[in-house]
Structure 1
Amino acid sequence: MTTAHDYPTLAPGQCPACGAVGSLVAFAGSLPLASGNRAIDVPQLVGERCERCEETFLDDTSHARYLAAADELVHQARLDAGAELRRVRRKLRLSQHEAAAIAGGGPNAFSRYETGKAQPVAAVFNLFRLLDRHPDLLGEILEAAASFQPRVKSPLRGT
């Protein structure tokens, strides 16, 4: 690596990731993406790949396509997660407000989770997976939530 004007510069063909000189080769192909339970390959990408560390550097057009595909995949994974939370919430006969009260978060948190606008923390998923398998625990959780947030009404629903 050399410097020009006090800025490090790379030698031609030098990998920006590992520093190997002469290791970059042309790349044309697909790269995988995964989010949640979804996975895709983004096809027809162009750039360079390091033969030593196997890092891939896409040209601007391919990079923009790859990022757009990643954004869409994350959005779809959030919608999947939101649909699952909605299914469990409805099975338990909870309003979005009641679900947010027991999971934490603001009064509109569950609406945002269910529409894919926000990603809940793993603890929220774990709680609702547990309640899906053991709905008999709901009454106990509602009582505990009421003790932490006394302004929230939490009538026991016979469970």
Structure 2
Amino acid sequence: MLCDFCDSDSAVALVTTESIPYRNGTLRVEGYESSHCASCGEDFITSEQSRANDRRVLRARAVFDELLTGDQILAIRECLGLSQTEAAEVFGGGPNAFYKYERSEVLVSRAMDLLLRLADSSGDAADWLLQRAGKAKASAAWSTVSQANVVVLNESRRTLRHVTPQDLNVEAANDWYPASGYGEQVAYG
């Protein structure tokens, strides 16, 4: 590696654990990268090392602040079966938000953290959010259903119907929240 100061080729990359003051505590940043030149004795950080260190510091801040890390956000998004663009449409944050969250380039807000945790912990909440954003996925479980009992709800009555897959339009059946009024909502049991 070339030294940024004397241009000799005797610089070596170092990886350490750094302690950085943060709020009322200390961040422990593992894998902190820097370089040292054996010829001139200078320590320096390359631009690539700086970008990697920034991501490590943001990850440590997320842990310290009890926010989701980029890896956790990625796992939630993949569990929901969403692309980064679709996740931004469902949860907000802009078209590149999830790319930046997942790479630990941007710290997730407390509100976004709570929304993602809610979607991750509650299938009903996730379904509701996906439905509202027009991203509801047809349930894989319905592909093997031969018959089912459904409760049909409207403004004035509840009725129980026995149906077969031919009776069901899975996308319509997953439409729990019509855009206006009550309409017919289907609940499965």
TM value normalised by structure 1: 0.47
TM value normalised by structure 2: 0.40
Rg larger in structure:
2
Structure with greater contact order relative to length (CA < 8 Å, sep ≥ 6):
1
